[in-house]
Amino acid sequence: MTNTQNNIPQLRFPEFEGEWVEEKLNRYCNKIASGKSKQVENEVYNLYGSTGIIGKTNKYSNDGKFILIARVGANAGLINIVDGKFGVTDNTLILDLNENIDIYFIYSLLLKYNLNRLVFGSGQPLITGGQLKSLKLMYPSKKEQQKIANFLTAVDSKLQALKKKKALLEQYKKGIMQKLFTVKTDGRPSLRFKDENGKDFPDWEVKKLGDEVDYEQPTKYLVSSTEYDNSYKTPVLTAGKTFILGYTDEINNIFENKLPVIIFDDFTTATKYVNFPFKAKSSAMKILIAKEKENIKFIYEVMQTIKFEIGGHGRHWISIYSKMNLLFPCREEQTKIANFLSAIDDKITKTDNQIEQTGQWKKGLLQKMFCN
């Protein structure tokens, strides 16, 4: 059912009709109070602060279902819903709701409203209990609240299941990596693959990393304009956390003929595996290309195991990384290892996409299922 009226939601369960009613939030609260500081000691109860769970405490201030709202700081307006015993810091507001409202409905309603809109103050952003008490929002009957809450809880359960699946896949890959790249006392890795006839591959050999890859400076592929737009075709990359800085419409000097490659930040040593055409932003990046008898995906995974403490602001590829001695199997075993790890990566990526899609779907539901 679609509506344009402010007091009737755009999307609604068919058994409900009639207008929602505007009320102050205070009507549904027994109290809205600031939490009291708790000393973090033994790991017993979750301790909540402005960013969510910030530690553990052996004391608790509340027991039951409550909504917690960050009161002060950069995260002012951030919402958490808790159930059970917990401690809070004094920069957290506690909403103690009465029996006339469904707590998860209120939680979802406040998420949709975005309490960050109420935050004031430039030096120390703040939201007050008084603001929350006088906040006017639209409410349906208790029965419709519960129907909405149950539906959105099911969506959240799906999201949590997907996030757990992703975490387990990442944990599994980490365990496999440890076995593949941890050398036993006999000099062999803990986990080995066999050839097509079930026989062992040759022993791994120690080689310099710089002997297994060529590198190319990104100068030729640097983007000339940072006027990015998601409608453009070619991604502009960095080896850092952001990875894709944006998309460019530039069509000249795109790196595309020697893929896949590794991009390496010469200052931070951050790496990314890239198997699609791209432009670059930073001249401090090295483009690593596998030599003929090596597998670039395997080399990328090997590089993830390197533990190097960065000191100073110098460049690291030529002076340090290229000279590192690492164990390398033959090309055939490299390929088996790379394919196995890529299969895990594909499952992680698929799950991550499902998380993103479900999150966007929920965001759309919040916009349509509430009047405010």
Reduced to 3 states, what is the DSSP secondary structure of residue 333? helix
133 found inside a domain: yes
User: Would residue 342 count as lying in a domain?
Assistant: no
- The verdict on residue 324 lying in a domain is yes
| pLDDT given for residue 187 in this prediction | 64
Q: Which residue has the tokens 């944006």?
A: 246
Considering only CA atoms, which of 294, 293, 263, 296 is closest in space to residue 279?
263
| 46 occurs within a structural domain | yes
Task: Give a yes or no: residue 128 inside a domain.
Answer: yes
Instruction: Mark which of 139, 158, 191 sits at the end of a domain.
Output: 139
Angle (CA) 124 128 38, round 5°: 80
Buried b (16+ CB within 10 A) or exposed e, 79-114: bbbbeeebbbbebbbbbebeeebbbbbbbbbbbbbe
| Domain edge (last residue) among 139, 162, 181 | 139
Q: Is residue 6 part of a domain?
A: no
pLDDT tier for residue 310 given thresholds of 50, 70 and 90: confident
Q: Are residues 219 and 307 in the same domain?
A: yes
- Count up the domains in the chain and report the number: 2
Asked whether the CA dihedral 28, 118, 357, 342 is positive or negative, the reply is negative
* Beta bridge partner(s), residue 31: 96
Residues 228 and 126 in one domain: no
How sure is the predictor about 185, in pLDDT bands with cuts at 50, 70 and 90?
low
β-partners of residue 216 are 287
Mean of pLDDT values over 124-136: 91
- Asked if residue 40 lies in contact with residue 47, where contact means CB atoms within 8 angstroms, the answer is yes
Could you tell me the residue range of the domain that residue 48 belongs to? 21-139
CATH of the domain at 309: 3.90.220.20
* Higher pLDDT pick, 200 / 358: 358
Q: How many CA atoms lie within 13 Å of 304's alpha carbon, on the beta-carbon side?
A: 16
Claim to verify: residue 240 and residue 322 sit in the same structural domain: yes
> CB of 315 within 8 A of CB of 284?
yes
Q: Is residue 321 very low, low, confident or very high in pLDDT (cuts 50, 70, 90)?
A: very high
- Of the residues 119, 139, 159, the one at which a domain ends: 139
pLDDT digits (tens, 9 = 90+) for 19-42: 999 999 999 999 888 877 666 666
Q: Is the same domain home to 100 and 213?
A: no
Mean pLDDT of the chain: 90
Task: Give a yes or no: residue 189 inside a domain.
Answer: no
* CB 355 within 8 Å of CB 166: yes
Residue 303 clears pLDDT 70, i.e. is over it: yes
- The tokens for 253 are 């000097």
Mean predicted confidence (pLDDT) in 41-64: 82
Residue 197: DSSP 8-state: T
Beta bridge partners of 131: none
Lowest-pLDDT range of 163-172, 191-200, 270-279, 290-299: 191-200
Residue 5 is predicted with a pLDDT of 58
Name, in order, each residue with C-beta under 8 angstroms of 323's C-beta and a sequence gap of 6 or more: 208, 209, 210
Helices (H), ranges, 236-309: 296-303
Q: Are 102 and 28 found together in one domain?
A: yes
Q: In this predicted model, what pLDDT tens digit does every residue of 194-239 receive, in sequence order? A: 888 889 899 899 999 999 999 999 999 999 999 999 999 999 999 9
Secondary structure of residue 123 in the 3-state scheme: coil
Question: Span 317-330, mean pLDDT?
Answer: 93
Rounded CA-CA distance 314/45 in Å is 45
Let me know if residue 167 belongs to a domain. no
Per DSSP, the three-state class of 94 is: strand
Buried (b) or exposed (e) across 116-132, using 16+ Cβ within 10 A?
eebbeeeeebbbbbebb
